[in-house]
Chains A and B, each alone.
Chain A
Amino acid sequence: MPIRKLSAQRLWLLAAYTAAAALLFCAPLMLSDFRLNLLAKFLAYAIVALGLDLIWGYTGILSLGHGVFFGLGGYAMAMYLKMDASGGKLPDFMDWSGLTKLPWFWKPFESLPFAIAAGILLPALLALILGFFTFRNRIRGVYFTILTQALVIITTTLFIGQQAYTGGTNGLTGYSKLFGFSLGSPETKRWLYWVTVALLIGAFLLCRFLVKSRFGKVLRAIRDGENRARFIGYNPAIYQMVAFSFSAGLAGLAGMLFVLHVGIISPSMMGIVPSIEMVLWVAIGGRGTLAGAVIGAVLLNYAKSTFSESYPNIWILFMGALFVVVVVFLPKGAAGLFGQFKWLRRRKAADEGADGVRYPAV
C-alpha cells in the first residue's frame, strides 16, 4: 500500500483512536474493581456489536440470532471452566440430573486451547451452515431475519430441555479459577480487563481492515444492490456467508470473555431479548460505522446498568421508546448525528467511506 499523506482529518481521527485506546488501557487506575468489571463486560459486548455492524451495517443483513453465537462461545468457555473446577469428577449438575458418565462432547473441553478454538469456530460454523442454506437460495432480508430469530428460540429451548448436558435454565456456573488464578480476585480481573481491551482493539482493527479492503467494498455493494453485484460477477452468497460467519465468530469470542467476567452463562443470556438488544446497540451507535457500534454498546449498557436496577419499569419503557426513536429519527444512530455536524463543517468528508454510507430499503 502506498504511503498516503496524512490529511488533518485523518490525523485527528488517529489521535482520537489513540486517545480512546490509551484511556481504555489506563481505566483500571481510575475505576473501582466493581466498575472495572462492568466496563469489561461492556467491552465484551462491544465486540459483538462490531460483528453485528459488519453484517448489518455493511452487508445489510439483519441477524437477530447473535445471542446464540454469543451464548455458544460463552458455553464453550464455561464448559472448560466447569471441567477444570470439577477436577476430573463429573460436573455437579450432571450428578444431579443422574448422569453417570461424562458425555462425549464434553470430553475435549478439558483442554483450554480446544475450548477457545471451539468458542470461536463453533458459532462461526453454525453461521456458515445457516448461511449456506439460506443465502445460496437468495433467502434474505426479512426472511433471513425471521429464520435467525427461530434459531434463537430452538437453541434456547434445546439448552433448557437438555438439562443433563447443558445445566438447563440455570446454565453453567460455579467455577472460580482460570490457570489456578481466582476469577474473583481484583488482580485477575484487571488482567482479564486488559485482555478484553486488547481483543476489542484487535477486533476493531481487523474489522476496519476488512471494511476498507476490497472485500468490504463488495459487502457494501451487496448491501446497496445485491443483484447489481451479482451481475458484475461477484457471488453475493459467498461474501454474505463469510461475513456472517466472521461476525458469529466475533460474537463467540465476546461470549467467552463475558463468561470470564461474569462467571455464568445461561439460556436467558442468549434468548430473543438479548439478541435484539444487541441490534439496538448497533442501531444507537450508528450502523455502518465501527466506532459507532462500540460506543453504542458501551453507552447503552452503561445506561442500562445505571437505570435498570433502580427503575426497571421505566427502563423497559425507555428502551421501547429508544427503538422507535432511533429507527424513525436517527437511522444512522449517534454516529450519524456526529456525521451531520461534520458534514456542515466540511463537505468533503462525504466521500470518506464511513460517512458516505447509504441505507438500502431492505
Chain B
Amino acid sequence: MDVIILQLFNGFSISSILLLIALGLSITFGLMKVINMAHGELIMIGAYTAYVVQNLFADYMPASMFGWYFALAIPVSFAVAFVFGLVLEMGLIRFLYGRPLDSLLATWGVGLMLQQLARSIFGAPNVGVKSPAWLDGGMTVGDNVFPYKRLFIIGLVLVCLLVMYLYIYRSHPGRRMRAVMQNREMAACLGISTRRVDATTFAIGSGIAGIAGCALTLIGPIGPTIGTYYIVDAFMVVVLGGVGKLVGTVFGALGIGLSNTLFEYWTTASLGKVLVFLCIVAFLQWKPSGFVAMRSRSLDN
C-alpha cells in the first residue's frame, strides 16, 4: 500500500512538472496555434536565471538571506523569459502565424541557437542550483516521506493555474486574448489591437516556461539541453488534453504523468514509455482532438 501511495505521489509530482511546462504551451500552441519548439529553451533560460540569481545572492547578500533567493528567482525567471518571448514573437513568430509546421522548424532553429548561446556563456557541463534550506527535508505521513521540494512544485503549479485562470477568464486583457484567438477579424473590428494581444499572449506563455525552468532547478542540475528533455512530453500533454481550455491541459498532464509512473513501476523505464505512447494513440482513437475539444462547425481548423 505504501508503495502505491509513493508511486501515486511521484506520479502527481511528475504531472505537476509536466503541467507547468505544458501550461505555457497550452497558450502558445493551444490558443495561438504556434508550435514553439524553443519553449524548451525558454525553460532553460528560466533555469539559468535562477542560477544567476542564486550566484548574485551568494556574492552580495548576507548568508542568512541566501535561502530567500528562490522567492526572487521565480518572478525574475518569469520576467526574463517574458522578454525573450516578446522579442521572439516580434522578431520571428509574427511572420509565421497560420503556418504551424513552419513555426515548428523555425523555432527549432532558434532553440538550437539559444542552446549554443547558453553553452558559450555557462559552459557545456551541467550546473547545480543549491536549493534553499527551507525546502530541504520532507513531510512524513505514516511511513512515507513527501519531499518539500516536490510539494512546493505542486503548490506552485496550482498557484500558476489559478492565476492563469483568473487572467484568461476573469480579466479584461484575458477576455481580449480569448476574443482575438477565437475570431481575429471580429476582434480587430471591435477595436482590439490584435498585434499587441498576440505579442503579450506569446510572452506570457514564454514567461510561464521561465517559471517552469526555475522550478526544475529544485529537482536536479541544469544544462543547456534541459529543455529538450521535457519538450516532447509537454507537447504530448497538449495533444492528449486537447487545445483551447486549461482543464484539458490539466487532464493531459495528469494522464501522462500518472500513467508514466505506474507503467514504469510495473515494467521498465523504456517499456513504460512505449506503453504510455500506445495508450495516447489509443485514446486519440476515441477522442481524436484530445480530451476537451473546442466545438466548431468549421471544417478546416
Contacts and interface: CB of A to CB of B under 8 A. Distances in A.
Interface in A142-159: 142-143, 145-147, 149-151, 153-154, 157-158
A344 interface: no
A246 B105 CA distance: 23
B152 to A, nearest CB: 28
B101 A272 contact: no
Contact of A331 (B102, B228, B268): B102
A160 interface: yes
Contact of B96 (A151, A319, A326, A328): A328
Nearest to B281: A133
B64 interface: no
A189 B274 CA distance: 38
Contacts of A138: 288
Nearest to A61: B101
Interface in B232-273: 232-233, 235-236, 239, 268-271, 273
A317 B35 CA distance: 21
A361 B98 contact: yes
Interface residues of B, number: 47
A239 interface: no
A321 B109 CA distance: 6
B130 interface: no
Given A157-B270, A320-B112, A151 B236 contact: no
A162 interface: yes
Contacts, number: 124
Interface string A311-350: 0010011011111101110010000000000000000000
A158 B102 contact: no
Nearest to B234: A146
Nearest to B98: A361
Nearest to A361: B98
Contacts of A283: 105
Interface in A89-116: none
Contacts of A154: 270, 273-274, 276-277
Interface string A192-230: 000000000000000000000000000000000011000
Contacts of B288: 137-139
B296 interface: no
Contacts of B284: 133-134, 137, 139
Interface string B94-134: 01101111111110111111011001100000000000000
Interface of A: 62, 130, 133-134, 137-139, 141-143, 145-147, 149-151, 153-154, 157-158, 160-162, 226-227, 272, 276, 279-280, 283, 313, 316-317, 319-324, 326-328, 331, 361-362
5 smallest A-B Cβ distances: which pairs?
Answer: A323-B109, A161-B270, A320-B112, A320-B113, A137-B288
